[in-house]
Amino acid sequence: MNAAERHGGNGEAIARRLGCPPQALLDASASLVPFGPPRWLRQQMRRQLNAPALRVYPDRSYVQLREAIADWHGLHPEQVLPGNGAAELFTWAARDAVECGTSLLPQPCFADYARALATWRGVWHQPTLIWQPPQGGAQPMSWLEQPGAAAAEVIWITNPHNPTGQLWTRASLEPLLQRFRLVIVDEAFLPLVPGGECHSLIPLLHHHPNLVVIRSLTKLLSLAGLRLGYALASPQRLAAWHQWRDPWPVNGLAAAVGQAWFTHPQRAVRWHQRVHGWVVAEGAWLQQQLAALPGIQPCPSSVNFLLIRGDDHGQPTSLQPLREALETRHHILLRDCRSFEGLDDTWLRIGYQSRRGNRRIIRAMRQALNAMSNPARS
């Protein structure tokens, strides 16, 4: 597996390497809702494909989309900046961060933050997250006690944390706003967490101009190919980002779909309820099934993915043979966690699927583990 494939969601490239059609793969390396996007939203996309609006350039200011997002979150439109997925917005957050000073990236950490900072030749420290699997329970303020933290002016955090799945409470994160010149919070997965919105930092934006919250519709609506995210921050900060970037970063189809989503709150609420029910049911089922497998230690998770570690009688053991067996023999993709700073080959991440898909994963893992423990029989 090359470095690009470790990110997850690279089914096309892996299918070419395996010599199979992409639809033959069960991709649990990306953490998307498996039954999305909603039917009514797919109908909206089909209508937009034939709409005259696609023949003209999008509104460079995305006024209608920004107004719809602002209404949803109770903000002013000038506090909203749509982007070409969260990844594009990380790039501008990083430019902002570099101007503020050294960044703190508590590890394990999503690799795209370092990618964005490196674009602008930024400097960062990576203290280790004080986190004990499988119980979890890390406290954000513990990051500040480690070497290098005292000099940092910026902190990047995910809520829920990626890849551990731990949910930070708003109360535990709020003190960071007093400590850092800039706090960048990636809440891409938060809408999938049952009850998660009560821990969002979005309500704090009115009183903390040093706060940036980045959201994405990729995970919730299973629209990774459409590329739509948005940043929420002070109007002055986002006005600067708008001046830095290329024109029309959000295409007309993505803008129309985003606007439709945020202007149909009743439909959106029903979708959230369905997603939250799925996260609760499949998370509990997967935890139970994985705990019964030999050599697998699942960690608790609040969201639609979970982290597992190889365990050989209390000693960490590589899960790469298992990952490779699932990929080549069963066409199942799990997330190679070596792309996360602070994790090694003893870790894998599994994105929840439908119950049918999750049964396929457990069945394949059981077969692969049996074959590895009894090589003479395989």
| Segment 73-107, tens digit of pLDDT | 999 999 999 999 999 999 999 999 999 999 999 88
| Segment 208-226, tens digit of pLDDT | 999 999 999 999 999 999 9
Percent of the chain scored above 70 by pLDDT?
A: 92
Alpha helices in the chain, H assignment, sequence order? 11-18, 39-49, 63-73, 85-100, 111-119, 170-173, 176-179, 218-221, 235-244, 252-262, 265-291, 320-330, 355-373
Model confidence at 3: pLDDT above 60: no
Q: How far apart are CA 29 and CA 349, in angstroms?
A: 7
**Which of the listed CATH numbers 3.40.640.10, 1.10.4160.10, 3.30.360.10, 1.20.1560.10 matches domain 39-263?**
3.40.640.10
| Segment 171-219, tens digit of pLDDT | 999 999 999 999 999 999 999 999 999 999 999 999 999 999 999 999 9
For the chain, give every domain's residue range.
Answer: 4-30+268-373, 39-263
**Which of the listed CATH numbers 3.30.930.10, 3.90.1150.10, 3.30.1330.90, 3.40.605.10 matches domain 4-30+268-373?**
3.90.1150.10
Res 257: pLDDT: 94
Region 120-137: what's the mean pLDDT? 74
Q: Angle at CA 324, nearest 5°, toward 11 and 12? A: 10
Residues 6+ apart with CB under 8 A from 326: 332, 333, 334, 361, 364, 365, 368
Q: Which two tokens stand for residue 176?
A: 């960071």
Model confidence at 133: pLDDT above 60: no
Res 139: pLDDT: 60
Instruction: Give the strand pairing for 229-232 and 296-298.
Output: unpaired
| Segment 272-306, tens digit of pLDDT | 999 999 999 999 999 999 999 999 999 999 999 99
Residues 286, 302 contacting (CB under 8 angstroms): no
Kindly report the pTM of this predicted structure: 0.93
Res 140: pLDDT: 63
**What is the band of 4 on the pLDDT scale with cuts at 50, 70, 90?**
very low
What is the CA 236 to chain-centroid distance, rounded?
A: 27
| Segment 16-62, tens digit of pLDDT | 888 788 788 999 999 999 998 999 999 999 998 888 778 889 999 99
Q: How many residues does the chain have?
A: 378
